[in-house]
């Protein structure tokens, strides 16, 4: 207990986990938007879009997240000088690293979101789409009004799993200097090696506090809103 008290006194643990929460929220929003677009492309009647969706999922899903983070931060931001924050801002380095970290998390997890939504689309009976087209709805209108609402309900559980994985994967952006929980843990271990077990216990507890409610919430939503056939 003395070790935990020392760590909580000397380090801003709440700020580190708040950064993790922000990465999770913004990464999840970006992944949901990009993943939905990719899923729609995969089931579209246009061959080029189908191939693009399949290519995106195959390439991104089989690329390590660390490599994507390094590509965004070191390749695009540092080498190509593509910045997502104002260069004259006093917090430019922090803001730019955070935003590129969000981009990397969103792109990587968008592949898993796309497959989750596509699996949800496949649970919708083909007759419903045919009925929608028979009353004059086009492909986009059929997706928006008939297919996607049911697909999202059918994909609640895999989307919840992806969100939990995203939360834990935010630790990867510590490799490019974003001061989230894993970055703090590295500093703790460097300067307080004698408190190693307390450090791991503190960080593990923090992630359990973040992810356990997500699991319970998505389990409840899946039981409450899932499409039962």
Tell me, what CATH number does 47's domain have? 1.10.3720.10
Are 85 and 99 in contact by the 8 Å Cβ rule? The answer is: yes
**pLDDT per residue over 65-110, tens digit each?**
999 998 888 888 788 888 877 877 777 777 888 888 999 999 999 9
Which range scores top for mean pLDDT: 5-19, 27-41, 206-220? Answer: 27-41
Domain count across the chain: 1
- pLDDT for 226 equals 63
Q: Is residue 23's pLDDT more than 80?
A: yes
| Cα 118 to Cα 165: distance, rounded to the nearest angstrom | 19
What is the DSSP-derived secondary structure letter of residue 170? G
Q: Is residue 229's pLDDT more than 60?
A: no
Domain holding 180, by residue range, is 2-225
| Structural tokens at position 96 | 């730019």
Which is higher by pLDDT, 226 or 88?
88
| Cα 213 to Cα 180: distance, rounded to the nearest angstrom | 20
What is the DSSP-derived secondary structure letter of residue 192? -
Q: Is residue 228's pLDDT more than 60?
A: no
- pLDDT for 180 equals 66
Which is higher by pLDDT, 61 or 79?
61
Beta strands, E only, the chain: none
Residue in 155, 151, 114 with CA at minimum distance from that of residue 129 = 151
**pLDDT per residue over 124-162, tens digit each?**
777 777 787 777 777 777 777 778 888 888 888 899 999
pTM of the predicted model, to two decimals? 0.87
């Amino acid at each position: 207990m003395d070790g935990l008290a020392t760590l909580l006194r000397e380090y801003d643990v709440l700020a580190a986990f708040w950064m993790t929460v922000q990465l999770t929220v913004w990464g999840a929003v970006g992944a949901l938007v990009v993943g939905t677009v990719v899923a729609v492309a995969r089931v579209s009647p246009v061959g080029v879009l189908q191939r693009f969706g399949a290519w995106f999922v195959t390439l991104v899903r089989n690329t390590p997240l660390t490599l994507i983070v390094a590509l965004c931060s070191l390749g695009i931001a540092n080498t190509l000088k593509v910045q997502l924050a104002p260069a004259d801002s006093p917090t430019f380095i922090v803001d730019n690293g955070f935003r590129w970290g969000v981009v990397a998390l969103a792109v990587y997890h968008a592949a898993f979101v796309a497959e989750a939504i596509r699996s949800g689309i496949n649970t919708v009976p083909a007759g419903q789409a045919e009925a929608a087209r028979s009353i004059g709805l086009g492909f986009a209108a059929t997706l928006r009004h008939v297919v996607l609402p049911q697909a999202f309900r059918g994909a609640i559980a895999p989307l919840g799993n992806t969100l939990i994985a995203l939360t834990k994967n935010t630790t990867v952006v510590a490799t490019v200097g974003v001061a989230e929980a894993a970055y703090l843990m590295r500093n703790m271990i460097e300067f307080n090696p004698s408190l190693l077990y307390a450090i791991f216990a503190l960080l593990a507890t923090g992630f359990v506090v973040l992810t356990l409610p997500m699991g319970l919430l998505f389990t409840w939503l899946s039981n409450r809103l899932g499409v039962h056939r």
